Amino acid sequence: MILLLPLIGALLLPFVGTSGAQGVATPNFYDQRQRMTKPDLGGRQRIRFLTTTDYPPFNFLDQRARLAGFNVDLVRAICEELDIQARCQIEAMPFGDLAQALKDGEGEAIVAGMAMTPTSRAGLAFSEPYLRYPARFVTRKDRPLPTPIAEALTGRTVAVEEGSAHAAMLGAFFPDATRQEFATRNEALAALKEGRVDAFFGDGVGLSFWLESDAAAGCCVFSDGPFFSDRYLGEGLAIAVAPNDMALARSIDYAIGQIVQKRRFSELLLRYFPVSPF
């Protein structure tokens, strides 16, 4: 269940979910009401996507030192949908070099989790977001909270990482919860495991891997959600292009729309997120 609260200056975005393999929830952030015609990129000699190697599971080097990850496979799918495989390239470099490399013509697009901010928008254009970061509650398996969780949080103690966006979001959207801040996420999650707090509220992507880790030891599960907010969590992941290359951005939007409609996007999420953060 998704909580929608009419707060001024804040927005908890709706989530449209689909069911993937084994009933795992996967998201659909693309508006399928859009009707876009297939773009013609025949005049381009090359389309090079720039990324990094230090942002797992989105982009990283595998055991054979080959570039891999969710974003890498998404680029391959985009190139297939646009029929540009022979001209499609992907190259890794340090994150701090990406924007200048694009400006210098060393690439045509950046797919590396670059945040959409007033600063980045001043020098880059972006595709539509293809994935948004969810906030999630985690509770002990033996102490689950009923849904809707907002009604169950009155008098409950929720752990958050001190100074985090999720701490601020919890206070804004779930004011009836008693917020307890910890210096680190690990300390907060340890308190949850030990039963000293009723829940933890944080980044669903990171938590999806923690739930399967030895550190969690099978203690906990997601409770309700996911929850989204542009104000607190940003606009999500998008692909950056040069400001004068909106034709490429719209071509990428078209390709991602096709990937979503063909359920290839859900397959990618299930491949890289064994426990769905959504």
- Split at pLDDT 50, 70, 90, the class of 43 is confident
Provide the mean pLDDT of the chain: 87
Whether 150 is in a domain gets the answer yes
Q: Exposed, middle or buried by CB within 10 Å (0-12, 13-18, 19+), for 3?
A: middle
Asked if the model's pLDDT at residue 226 lies above 90, the reply is: yes
Cα 264 from chain centroid (whole Å): 16
Look at residue 25 in the predicted model and tell me its pLDDT.
53
Instruction: Judge if 207 and 102 occupy the same domain.
Output: no
Q: What is the pLDDT of residues 174-213, one digit of tens each?
A: 999 999 999 999 999 999 999 999 999 999 999 999 999 9
Instruction: Judge if 245 and 221 occupy the same domain.
Output: no
Asked if the model's pLDDT at residue 22 lies above 60, the reply is: no
Instruction: Judge if 125 and 139 occupy the same domain.
Output: no
**Backbone dihedral angles phi then psi of residue 275, each to the nearest 5 degrees:** -105, 115
Could you tell me the two tokens for 178?
Answer: 């008693």
Q: How many domains does the chain have?
A: 2
Could you tell me the two tokens for 86?
Answer: 């022979």
Look at residue 8 in the predicted model and tell me its pLDDT.
25
Cβ atoms < 10 Å from Cβ of 105: 9
User: How confident is the model over 113-121, as a mean pLDDT?
Assistant: 86
Question: Could you tell me which of 161, 168, 159, 136 has the C-alpha nearest to residue 232?
Answer: 168
pTM: 0.82
Whether 247 is in a domain gets the answer yes
Q: By percentage, how much of the chain surpasses pLDDT 90?
A: 70
- If you write DSSP's letter for every residue of 193-214 in order, what string do you get? HTTSSSEEEEEHHHHHHHTTST
Whether 7 is in a domain gets the answer no
Instruction: Judge if 68 and 102 occupy the same domain.
Output: yes
**CATH number of the structural domain spanning residue 163:** 3.40.190.10
Could you tell me the two tokens for 119?
Answer: 């600063």
Strand 220-227's sheet: what is its strand order? 178-182, 157-161, 199-203, 135-140, 220-227
- Split at pLDDT 50, 70, 90, the class of 119 is confident
Domain extent for 81: 17-131+236-272
Instruction: Judge if 126 and 148 occupy the same domain.
Output: no
Whether 65 is in a domain gets the answer yes
| Strand 54-55 versus strand 59-61 pairing type | antiparallel
CB neighbour list of residue 42: distance below 8 Å, 6 or more residues apart? none
User: How confident is the model over 50-60, as a mean pLDDT?
Assistant: 94
Instruction: Judge if 225 and 165 occupy the same domain.
Output: yes
Whether 101 is in a domain gets the answer yes
Instruction: Judge if 139 and 215 occupy the same domain.
Output: yes
Instruction: Judge if 187 and 166 occupy the same domain.
Output: yes
Cβ atoms < 10 Å from Cβ of 269: 19
Instruction: Judge if 117 and 244 occupy the same domain.
Output: yes
Q: By percentage, how much of the chain surpasses pLDDT 70?
A: 87
> 104 has which bridge partners?
none
Question: Rounded CA gap, 68 and 109, in Å?
Answer: 17
Whether 11 is in a domain gets the answer no
Instruction: Judge if 45 and 175 occupy the same domain.
Output: no
Axis crossing angle, helix 70-81 with helix 246-261, rounded to the nearest 10 = 100
- Amino acid type, 136: R
Least confident of 35-39, 97-101, 228-232: 35-39
Whether 54 is in a domain gets the answer yes
Instruction: Judge if 116 and 244 occupy the same domain.
Output: yes
- Split at pLDDT 50, 70, 90, the class of 5 is very low
Instruction: Judge if 179 and 116 occupy the same domain.
Output: no
Whether 192 is in a domain gets the answer yes
User: How confident is the model over 100-117, as a mean pLDDT?
Assistant: 92
Asked if the model's pLDDT at residue 260 lies above 60, the reply is: yes
